[in-house]
Every structure is written in structure tokens, then in C-alpha cells.
A = this chain, B = another copy of it.
């Protein structure tokens, strides 16, 4: 009997000892998730589950970060579907990550093994197995969530009725690896990083994490949008054009980026940031499977692909590449926006449209059971 958390509440589920793709072991792993809508499971194992995949520093609260898109009568309709969103393994939002305690009582820190996108999917598979969910109406995600969605459709095609892959590529590009490795270096270069074992030092590599976030943010946001907002204006009360350069005298965009950095430092763990950023470097659907295009063409899951016209992190040609080669393409859509990569989180109207279109196109592929919800007690809260 599946046991689901009350709607909207965060729950944590043990998934046992977890072996990573690269040969690591995470003892007594656990994963956190949230769900909305009643779960229905058919005799054949079909379900009404929409599995939503968050991005790098996102979390399971999809009703918040896709506010207005998840709920009764909304694009992801919780009157009809059971929306489930997990927190990724390696993260810091309830699922096990480097900031958590190893069974020996110390923090995992540098002992936390590298995680691949496939590991993220495997951990989710174990969570869903534990909940008694063996099949999904759809998997939906953008950016790192899009990478997971793609891997879901390749690793467990029989378990996925349809997939919506947003703003991602078939593998990390050299440019992405370069910019992502720069972010990792910024954190590793912080004196308070302590090789990843800073948790008991009383200090955190906040400066490194903040600097990494500022850089990342510039890859998430289109230069058109950032320039429209800040141009080359000075931060009010500061003068970046003084006789001598002074780091305390900033342009408005620097203040904005400092703000972004502070916000992330407050809500995210540097160890998780490094683990997950490294997992993006490792994203490659062709690993151990053959050529990229061969792997894509072998895909059987009806898949819709979405890109953003101004995305410099996952440029649109990467989604065109997916569309050209996927074995069972449902449709392709382009978000037109000055916002860049983050448009899938920011362009509400277009995303609403795209999600509704996807659900309509996927409808013939969905095997939604009529049976009533099967719920029970959650295992434990964090």
C-alpha cells in the first residue's frame, strides 16, 4: 500500500544504501518529496503521477516555483493528476547530501561521492518504488531537471508515458563544463571550504558560493533583460566612476548580483552546489550507450522539447538537436523571451501554454487509472 505525504507537505523516505554510477556508496540514503493531488493506481500499475524535476538549486516545492501552473484546474491539474516533486540526491533540501550526517556521526563532506544525472534518476526511482509507484503519466523538467527527464525516458522508458524536456541538451557542452568548473573552482578556492569538510569548522565558504552564484546567474539571465533593468547605471548612493576604482562603489547590476549571491548563500549549501554542478558536468546520455544521436533515436517515450531563444547556457540549437534526433518526438516549442535560460521559470504565460499543449499532445499516450487514491501515513518528516 503506497503511503503518501499529506498534500504539499515535505516528507522524507529512506531508500537504503545507494550505489552511484561511478562506484561510490551512500549509506542509508534518503530522499524528500512533496505531492499535490490524489494518487490513483491502476491494476496494471499505471498511475496518474506527474513527476516534476527541479533545476540545480531548486527544490520539491513546485507549487511555489511554478506558482499558478500547479493546482486544481491549472496546467498541471491536481484534480486529475498527482503531482510529485522530489528533492535531488546530493542536494540540501531534505534529500541526503554532503551536509548531512554519515552513519558514523560526522558530516559526509568530502566523503560524499560524485553524483551523475543518472544517479539522480535512480534515487528517484527507488523513492517511487518505495511509494509503490511503478509508472508515471509524465516526467517534466527544465535545465538540470530537463537532464533528469531525458535520462528517465532513456533509463526507464516502460515507466514513463510521456516526457517534457525543457532548456537542456543531450550532454554537457564544453562551454558549460568550462563555466560550471569555474564555479566549482570559486568555491574550492574559498579558504573556508576546507576541502569540502567545513561543516564543523564554524565557517562556510560563503564568498566562494556567492561568487559562483553571481557567475551562474549571468548564464541564467539574458543580457537583454539584465541590461533593460540595470544598464550601466550606478547603484544609488555609490559612484563606480570615481578617481580610483573602489569595490564598495558599484554599478547597479553589481548590487543586484550581490543580492542574488546573498540569497543563495542563505538558502543553499556549498557542498551540495559543488556536487550538483559536477553532476551537470557529467551529463551525457551517450555514456556507455553508443553515439549521441543513436541513443536519442532509440528513445521510445513520446517527448516534447522546449527551448528559449535567448538561452546562452543551453542554446536553442541544443534543443533543435534533441528534436531532430529523438525517436518519438511529440512536439517542439520555443519560448521567446529576453530573460534567457530562466525563462522557463519566469515566462508564466508561455509556460502555461506549453504545459497545457504538452498535456493535450501527451493525452493519447497516458494510461490514467480510475481507481481511487491509495494513501497512508508518511514514513517520517524532517
Contact = CB atoms under 8 A, between A and B. Distances in A.
A169 to B, nearest CB: 10
Contacts of A254: 177-178, 181
Quickly give the copy total for this chain.
2
Contacts of A274: 245
B174 A232 contact: yes
Contacts of A227: 173-175
Given A189-B211, A211-B185, A278-B245, A174 B114 contact: no
Interface stretch (A128-136, A235-243, A354-362): A235-243
B189 A240 contact: no
B181 A282 contact: no
A292 to B, nearest CB: 10
A182 interface: yes
A281 interface: yes
A343 B178 CA distance: 19
A218 interface: yes
A114 B242 contact: yes
Given A218-B179, A253-B178, A232 B20 contact: no
A315 B223 contact: yes
A188 interface: yes
Contacts of A110: 244
A224 B278 CA distance: 21
A174 B218 CA distance: 10
A113 interface: yes
B188 A247 contact: yes
A199 to B, nearest CB: 17
A214 interface: yes
Given A223-B173, A227-B173, A230-B174, A182 B215 contact: yes
A259 interface: no
A42 interface: no
Interface in A315-338: 315, 317
A207 B232 contact: no
Contacts of A182: 211, 214-215, 218
A251 interface: yes
Given A223-B315, A232-B172, A282-B241, A253 B177 contact: yes
Interface string A255-299: 001000000000000000011001001101001000000000000
A161 to B, nearest CB: 30
A243 B114 contact: yes
A231 B175 CA distance: 8
A282 B312 CA distance: 24
10 contacts: A22-B243, A23-B243, A174-B229, A174-B230, A175-B221, A178-B226, A185-B211, A188-B247, A189-B207, A241-B282
Interface of A: 20, 22-24, 110, 113-114, 116, 171-179, 181-182, 184-186, 188-189, 207, 211, 214-215, 218, 221, 223-224, 226-227, 229-232, 240-245, 247, 250-254, 257, 274-275, 278, 281-282, 284, 287, 312, 315, 317
Given A177-B232, A177-B254, 12 more contacts: A113-B243, A173-B231, A174-B226, A174-B227, A176-B223, A178-B218, A178-B257, A181-B257, A182-B214, A232-B281, A241-B287, A245-B274
